[in-house]
Amino acid sequence: MISSVLVANRGEIARRVFATCRRMGIGTVAVFSDADANSPHVAEADAAIRLPGNTPAETYLRGELIIAAAKAAGADAIHPGYGFLSENADFAKSVLDAGLTWIGPPVKAIEQMGSKVESKKMMDAAGVPVLAELDPAEVTESMLPVLIKASAGGGGRGMRVVRSLDQLEDEIAGAKREAQSAFGDPTVFCERYLETGRHIEVQVMADTHGTVWAVGERECSIQRRHQKVVEEAPSPLVERVDGMRERLFHAARLAAEAIGYEGAGTVEFLADEKGDFFFLEMNTRLQVEHPVTEQTTGLDLVRLQLQVAAGKALPAEQPALRGHSIEVRLYAEDPAHEWQPQSGTIHKIEIPQTTGEFTVLENAGVRLDTGVVDGSVVGVHYDPMLAKVISYADTRDEAAHLLASALQRAKIHGLVTNRDLLVRVLRHDAFLAGDTDTAFFATHGLDTLSAPLVSDADEALSVVAAALAESAANRRAARVGAGLPSGWRNLPAQPQLKSYESRTSGTHDVRYRVTRSGVVVEGHDGLTVVEATPTHVVMTEPNGPQRRFEVARYGDLVCIDSALGPVTVRRLPRFIDPSAQVAAGSLLAPMPGSVIRLGAEVGAEVTAGQPILWLEAMKMEHKIVAPAAGVLTELNVTVGQQVEVGAVLAVVENEESK
C-alpha cells in the first residue's frame, strides 16, 4: 500500500494529485522553489520541502533533490505530474533505485517513448500508422512546410514551423535552446507539417496484469504555438466518421502493448477530415486535459494511477462513455499581442457556476482545476496557465454554452488573460459545428477572436460606472463639518472629470455633475443612476434595461464586471509626471525575462518587424521587434541580463520620431 505521495511538480497538477490522495486517505508531500513558497499547493500538503532557487533547472528538474525530499518527509511514492521530470527515464529509475514507488509506467517504456525519433520507428513496426521523420540536413523546398519538434518533451516547447529553407538553421537552433531549457535535452527532429490536421488522442490505462484500456478519445485541435488551448471529449470528428473510434482504440492498444505499458498514458494522432490518422507521440504520463476524460467516463484517473502503482488490477470491464466535456486553459497571456505571457498578482479569480474542484462531476456543471487563488503571484519562471475550466453536460452544445457563460461572468482581476478569446471560440459557429482543426486561429482570424467581449459603447458605460463608484468611495472617505459629504454645496456643481485608460480603446474621459435631481453624465443623455456605492453601481439607459456593475479597485487598476462583459482600465492621474514619459520608438519589455540573444547593433538600419533581441520568459522565447523602419540608436541590454516589465530595451528612430 502507498501511504504518502510526494508530487514532483507544482501548481495545479500538484493540487489535483493531492485532492485524490486526500480522498483515499494517503498523505501528501509538496516540493517548492523559492518563487513558489506561497503557492497554494505548498499550503495544502501535509509536508513541504524547499528546493533552493527559482528556475526549473535549479529546482523541479533536480531529480536528486526531489528524491532526497521524499526520504526526508517520509514519502514512500513519487508522482511526477506532467512536464518537468514526468517523462525522464533516468529520474524514474532513480526513484525505484531509492526504494520508492514510481507512480508511472515502466522505465523501459519511458525510454522507448522518450525519443520521438525512435518511438516512431517502433510504432511503425507495431503496425501503427506514422508520419515519416525528416533529416534536417536533407530537407528540400518541396518538403516544406516542416515541423521541428523536441524529441524529449511536449507542450509546444521546442516546436517551430518552417516554411522557408533560409529560416531552417535559425529555427532549429532556437528549438534546441527551448528544448534544453524546458526538458534538459536539446535533441530535435523534423517531420512533414499538416496545416489543417485534427489533433486526436486516446487515453490508455494499463495494469500490471495484462489489461489495457482505451478509455476514450479527446480532440485537442485548437492550439496556439502548438500548445493546446481547448480540449474536449468525445471528438466531434470521431463521432462523425463511422468506425474511426474502433480503429483509433485498436491503434492505441497496439502502441501500449508494443512497449509493455503500465499506468496512465496518451497516444496522440494527427488526423484528416476523412478519418485517416498518423501517430505523433505517446505521452507516458497524465495529460493536462485528463479531466474531460474523467468527466465522460466517471473515472478518477489519478486514483487509478495510484492503484495500478500499488499492483492492483483494473476491472475487467471499462466504463461506458457518457455526455460531453470541454476544457479550456486559462492563461495569463495576451493573444492579441503574439500571446505575450503576463506576470504579476492575481487579485481575484472567481468562476461562477463552479460545482466542484479537482473532482469528477456527476451532473451538468463547471469544474475548476487551478493552481492560483486570490492574491497569487504569477512569476516568469513557469508556464503562465492559471487554471483549467471544465464543463460537463449531456450534449456538446450545452457544454459549450455553459462554459462560455461561466467564463464571461468570471471575475479575473489583475492580469491580462486569454478569457475573451476562449469565450469567442466556444461561441463561434465553426466550433459549434465541430469544424475545428490546428489552423483554427489562422482560419478565423486571431484579431477577431481575441477582440474584447464588450462593445465600445458597453465599455464606455462600464467606465462611467467605475467613475461613479470612485466618486462614491471618495465621498465616503472624506466627510467634513456636521456630517456633510466633502464637496457639498448649495450652488450648481461644475462637472467632475475622471480619466481612465483602456488597453484596447484608449482614454475614456468621464464628466459628470451631481444635481438635486441626480447624477448627470455628459454624453449619456437620459442615463439614470439608481444607486452608486464604492463597490457597485446600478444604472438604467433610456428605453433600456436596468444594469448592475460591480467595481473593484487595486491601486490605479479598476475592474468592472457586469452581464455586458468584463472591463479593465487604469485610472489616469490628474497630472502627468514628465519624467515618466517614454521616447518615441522605444521598445519596452512586455514581461520580465532574460535577454538571450541580440539581433542588431547600435547604428544599424532596421526594418519594421525585424528582431532586435530575444527574451526568455515562462520557458518560451519571445522576439522583440522594431516597430518601424529606422536606425537603432540605443541598445540598453546585454545577453544574460534580467529585465523588468516596462524597461526600455532599445530605441529605434525613424523620420517621424526625429
Are 420 and 450 in contact by the 8 Å Cβ rule? The answer is yes
In the predicted structure, residue 65 carries a pLDDT above the cut 70: yes
* Whether the predicted pLDDT of 313 surpasses 90: yes
Q: How many residues does the chain have?
A: 658
- Percentages of the chain per state (helix, strand, coil), in multiples of 5: 30, 30, 40
Q: What is the pLDDT of residue 202?
A: 98
**Alpha-carbon Rg of the chain, whole angstroms?**
27
Quick check: 140 pLDDT over 90? no
C-alpha–C-alpha distance, residues 339 and 263, integer Å: 34
Render pLDDT for 215-248 as a digit per residue (tens, 0 to 9). 999 999 999 988 999 999 999 999 999 999 999 9
* pLDDT band at residue 493 under the 50/70/90 scheme: low
Q: What is the pLDDT of residues 251-297, one digit of tens each?
A: 999 999 999 999 999 999 999 999 999 999 999 999 999 999 999 99
Residue 351 and residue 368 in contact, taking contact as beta carbons nearer than 8 Å: yes
For residues 458 and 455, give the distance between their C-alpha atoms in angstroms, rounded to a whole number.
5
pLDDT of residue 180: 86
- The class level of CATH for 323-451 reads alpha beta
Of 420, 406, 437, 496, the closest CA to residue 199 belongs to: 437
Angle, in degrees to the nearest 10, between helices 116-126 and 107-114: 100
In this predicted structure, the answer to whether residue 485 has a pLDDT above a threshold of 60 is no
Query: What is the distance between the alpha carbons of residues 33 and 60, in angstroms, rounded to a whole number?
Result: 8
H helices of 232-351, in order, are: 236-240, 244-258, 290-297, 301-309
Q: Which helix (H) or strand (E) holds 165?
A: helix 165-183
Q: Which residues, listed in sequence order, are joined to residue 496 by a DSSP beta bridge?
A: 512
Ranking 86-90, 315-319, 344-348, 453-457 by mean pLDDT, the lowest is: 315-319
Residues 6+ apart with CB under 8 A from 441: 222, 224, 449
Examine the pLDDT at 172 and tell me if it is beyond 70: yes
Q: Which CATH architecture has domain 4-103?
A: 3-Layer(aba) Sandwich (3.40)
Question: Tell me, what's the pLDDT at 574?
Answer: 77
* Residue spans per domain, the chain: 4-103, 128-192, 323-451, 457-571, 578-657
d(CA 234, CA 521): 51
CB burial of residue 127 (10 Å; 0-12, 13-18, 19+)? exposed
**Please, which residues have CB within 8 angstroms of residue 510's CB and are 6 or more apart in sequence?**
463, 464, 466, 467, 497, 498, 499, 500, 521
> What are the φ/ψ torsions at residue 571 (nearest 5 degrees)?
-70, 125
Q: Could you tell me which residue, 153 or 362, shows the higher pLDDT? A: 362
pLDDT of the residue at 178: 86
State the average pLDDT over residues 102-119: 91
Alpha-carbon dihedral angle through residues 79, 83, 86, 87, given to the nearest 10 degrees: 160
What pLDDT shows up at residue 183?
A: 77
Q: Sign of the C-alpha dihedral, residues 413, 418, 421, 422?
A: negative
Considering the domain 578-657 in this protein, what is its CATH number? 2.40.50.100
Q: Answer whether 323-451 and 578-657 agree in fold.
A: no
Q: Sheet holding 586-588: strands in order across? A: 586-588, 648-653, 630-635, 605-606
SS3 535: coil
Place of cell 516547447: 157
Only one residue has cell 471575475, namely 411
What is the model's pLDDT at position 239? Answer: 97
pLDDT of residue 491: 60
Q: String of b and e for 162-196 (b: at least 16 CB within 10 Å)?
A: beeeeebeebbebbbbbbbbbbbbbbbbbbbbbee
> What is the pTM assigned to this prediction?
0.86
Provide the grid cell at 279: 501517430
Q: Higher-confidence residue: 620 or 333?
A: 333
In a 10 Å sphere around its CB, with 0-12 CB exposed, 13-18 middle and 19+ buried, how is residue 271 labelled? buried
Domain 128-192 grouped into CATH 3.30.1490.20: yes
Banded model confidence at residue 595, pLDDT cuts 50, 70, 90: very high
User: What are 497-547's pLDDT values in tens digits?
Assistant: 999 999 989 999 999 998 888 899 999 999 999 999 999 999 999 989 999
Q: Is it the case that residue 647 has pLDDT exceeding 80? A: yes
Tally helices (H) and strands (E) across the chain.
17, 42
Q: What is the pLDDT of residue 487?
A: 55
Q: Is the pLDDT of residue 484 over 70?
A: no
Give per-residue pLDDT as tens, 383-412. Answer: 899 999 999 999 999 999 999 999 999 999
Q: Is the pLDDT of residue 560 over 90?
A: yes
| % of the chain with per-residue pLDDT over 70 | 95
Is the pLDDT confidence value at 582 over 80?
Answer: no
Averaged pLDDT, 160-164: 90
How buried is 407 (Cβ within 10 angstroms: 0-12 exposed, 13-18 middle, 19+ buried)? buried
- Record the cell numbers describing residue 79, joined without a space: 508522482
Peptide bond just before 542 cis, omega within 30 deg: no
Q: Are the beta carbons of 639 and 596 closer than 8 angstroms?
A: yes
